[in-house]
Structure 1
Amino acid sequence: MKNKVAVGELPHAPGAASASLNVYWVLCIGSGSPHKELAYRLLSHCASADMDKLLTLEGGIGCRKSTWMDRDVNRIIPFYRRMEGLHAHARELPRLAHWSKLAEVIDGLVLSTINTDQPVAQLAREAQARADTV
């Protein structure tokens, strides 16, 4: 797969902003933690630029601009240099109670584009029809 992966804007209506499908995990300290200082040191370490770069180079998804622009990262994973531009005008996905059902429609659309020879425009129309019923 090396050098065969790319990133791009999600399709969007003319004149509308693209969305970002990025999902980030969150580390936190429980309010009742007896080790708040130690926990904070761990979180600070995990959120550091060095750890974000290491996470990325080990196969995770880096979320810091410093990682996206890092020379070493881009030598190995060239699409990272495009991440800042893709996020510059992207909007967050809507917070909807039925989002999981819409995500299933999107997942199905992506899989259909990979696993069938049907025209993408047709697949998109069919996915939109399913989304309209959710």
Structure 2
Amino acid sequence: TSLAAGIGPGSWHIYAGVNPSNVEKAIDLILAEVRRFREEPVSDAELADAKSYLTGILPLQMETNEGVAGALLQMHLYQLGDDFIVRYPDIIHTISKADIQAAAQKYLNHELYVLSIGGPYQA
């Protein structure tokens, strides 16, 4: 998955590479997972893994001049403050399962989506 975030509304993308004979099954499973994400809180392990990933990837992203420039650009664009990189791990660690579920319920709609299928598939 990926999230196209910005100042205004963005989009959330889910990608899957599947055998053409399994496309409909994959779509059903993806939509079921989105429904589950809205209806059930994430597990403690999922939350811990996500927090670890999000805080652990930051130093790796900052290893290049491009990464530093991108971070500075985003900090300026979103008015996050000059100390955002220092505050970022604490911000991530304060996110709760309830916060994630509330965001999922507000922004993810398993009935309102655009579906694009590439490759040899016939409905």
TM-score range relative to shorter protein: under 0.3
Greater relative contact order (CA < 8 Å, ≥ 6 in sequence): 2
Flag the structure with larger Rg. 1
